[in-house]
Amino acid sequence: MIFDRIEWDEHNLDHATRRLTAAEIEQAIWNADRMIPHREHADRGLFRSVTDGGKSVLVIVEILHNGVRPITGWEAW
């Protein structure tokens, strides 16, 4: 799935980067071939992807018009 932008501000940057860097989150989103709908929140999606360095990660995002807003992410096992 292709989005035009990834939206960051001080609120989601602080929360989303607790376990991954902003660069890793962005790489995972851009490298993903699809987004999985969130089970409980219709306005959210899940990316199961890899960073440019090969780290397997999961990233949850809020879906915006033509973009996404990272909420959280972590390394996958």
Q: What is the pLDDT of residues 53-68, one digit of tens each?
A: 999 999 999 999 889 9
Q: What is the dihedral of CA 39, 48, 7, 4, to 10 degrees?
A: -100
Rounded Cα gap, residues 11 and 49, in angstroms = 23
Question: Rounded mean pLDDT of 29-37?
Answer: 92
Percent of the chain whose pLDDT exceeds 90: 79
Rounded Cα gap, residues 55 and 20, in angstroms = 10
Buried b (16+ CB within 10 A) or exposed e, 41-65: eeebbbbebebeeeeebbbbbbbee
Is the predicted pLDDT of residue 2 greater than 80, yes or no?
A: no
Rounded Cα gap, residues 66 and 77, in angstroms = 30
pLDDT at res. 70:
97
